[in-house]
Chains A and B, each alone.
Chain A
Amino acid sequence: MDAAGGGNAPSAAGAGSGQTTLLDIENVSLSFGGVKAITDISFDIRAGEVRAIIGPNGAGKTSMLNVINGFYHPQEGAITWKGQRRSRMRPHEAAASGIARTFQNVALFKGMSTLDNVMSGRSLKMHRGLFWQMVHVGPARREEIAHRRRVEEIIDFLEIAHIRKKPVGKLSYGLQKRVELGRAMAMEPELLLLDEPMAGMNLEEKEDMSRFILDLAREFGTTIALIEHDMGVVMDLADRVVVLDYGKKIADGTPTEVQSNQDVIDAYLGVAR
């Protein structure tokens, strides 16, 4: 690996088996005023696995991701991250500790180019002082170059080299989603949270995105938690699936187990209750 350090896979060697628990969520509840978004949910994410979170609209999936990366703080329950119980971790602290994410409605820096967006994912990894960055010589220059090299690798991996210099606001939705994934990848996270990575994409774009996610998990060993509505995609990608409905967990297991679970079928088909 180059001087940028680490590569994308802190856990690449040992985590293939997916036995160690990376993130453990115990009895978490979250409410906004009187509205309960999440009620008493427990599940875990193991190192190296692809974990899908599915459920009908309004089931609390995105709230769950927001809890994991610190946008929301649950009123009850405990979150254990890398073996340590954490309390009220703020989003930028979560990012620093190895949690990256993408958003349901693409949250990119629209005025900046693809390259700058992906580069912004490296912001936590740059250490040279301000002055040196401004004069752009010596160690700061070498550091910038090392980061650029890593970023270019990611851009090549995601096949977005042709739009490197374009402002992302002008790109198609599918490409924006890809740039957003690139920015999260640039953080070299241990846990990557993807909120509907395929939403609004056509079949071809979905296939590309699935390939990137699988490569990320298998080749780089990044642990991934993703929310997705396309069941075909979920069944193909996920090692384990947790199903939410009305803020409660209704099933947890391998894709085939979940698929045949009566509660899940009811939730999706809308049985009268």
Chain B
Amino acid sequence: MELLHAIFVAPFVDMFTLPAFLLQVLWEGFVSGVLYALIALGFVLIFKASGVFNFAQGIMVVFAALVLVGLHAMGLPAWLALLATIGVMGLFAISVERFVLRKLVNQPDAILLMATIGLTLIVKGAGQLFFGADTKSMITEELGLPTGSSVWEVFDDIVIFQHIDIAAAVIAILMVAALGVFFSRTRIGRALRAVADDHQAALSVGISLNQIWAIVWFASGIVALVTGIMWGARSDVSFALEIIALKALAVLILGGFTSIPGAIVGGLLVGIGEKLAEVYWGPLVGGGIEAWFAYVLALVFLLFRPQGLFGERIIERV
């Protein structure tokens, strides 16, 4: 009886009696959800256009952040370092297409996945070689990102908003909007959707697969850079980020591998869900729910809705 009470009643009583605290938890969850969504977005872009599950997306986030911080440490002003990092991510995309993907066209998915795992190791090694393995702090202020915090008085209590969190949410929303316009309005966006639908047909209307692949890898490189900056600003830039990025896998299972809205909703669900679970149900099991909540949620989805919330229905015609 006591256990049932602790699971089904006590947490909700807590939520109700301390609404400001609940809001704070929801906000924290929302912000980390936004960042999960950004990482998932990087995965989705590449998966949509090439059917490749890019294992290297996590390390790309770390790599982009390292390059930015590293270039700044070499004496480049922040804005120039940012531009140079964008250039580096462009070069990275072109080389991945040229030296990895082009050789592997029409190979089974498993081989492409293995290739991205190999890529992960190369990028990780290169990152450690050039920038060292120690933790660095993001150049938040130099980039003109806000660092203070605001207090919102509500329910006779306070909710604290870190400005960097607000900035992260706003930038993420802008970025998703820009990608949306890019996909629906531009010739390349249309070409990209075409490639995702049918490779052969896309080729026949004159779309170059190589070009499209380089573009999506660049786009997800940019997404990785933004994620790296935001995440780096909240914690630090370190290789541990790569592990957190794997949570995006759970996000993808929730949202569907091919859906941009799915990546966003999935990210928010995981972010908010794991914070709520940790704060209100964590004490029951001695904490640590945050580490596995996303994966359990993903497992449940795999059982009941394997295509995710917004994914294309999986229909096998025999």
Contacts and interface: CB of A to CB of B under 8 A. Distances in A.
Nearest to A116: B190
Nearest to B258: A111
Q: Is the interface of B mostly helix, strand, loop or mixed?
A: helix
A124 B188 contact: no
Which interface class (under 10, 10 to 19, 20 to 34, 35 or more) fits B?
20 to 34
Interface string A40-81: 000000000000000000000000000001010000000000
Interface string A158-191: 0000000000000000000000000110010000
Interface string A129-150: 0100110100000000000000
Interface stretch (B20-28, B56-64, B137-145, B197-205): B197-205
Contacts of B209: 92
Interface in B166-204: 178, 181-182, 185-188, 190-191, 193-194, 197-198, 200-204
B204 A95 contact: yes
A253 interface: no
Interface in A115-129: 116, 119-121, 123-124, 126
Contacts of B182: 130, 134
A92 B190 contact: no
A183 B205 contact: yes
A110 interface: yes
A101 interface: yes
Contacts of B312: 111
A212 interface: no
A220 interface: no
Contacts of A16: none
Given A108-B198, A120-B190, A91 B204 contact: yes
B187 A109 contact: no
A231 interface: no
B190 A119 contact: yes
B198 A69 contact: no
A91 B193 contact: no
Given A109-B194, A109-B197, A112-B197, A133 B205 contact: no
9 cross-chain pairs, A with B, having the tightest CB-CB distances, nearest first: A95-B206, A107-B201, A91-B203, A109-B197, A133-B186, A124-B206, A126-B187, A92-B208, A107-B198
Given A95-B206, A187-B205, 20 more contacts: A92-B206, A92-B207, A92-B209, A95-B205, A107-B200, A107-B201, A108-B197, A110-B197, A111-B197, A112-B194, A120-B194, A123-B191, A123-B206, A123-B207, A130-B188, A134-B178, A134-B185, A136-B185, A184-B205, A187-B206
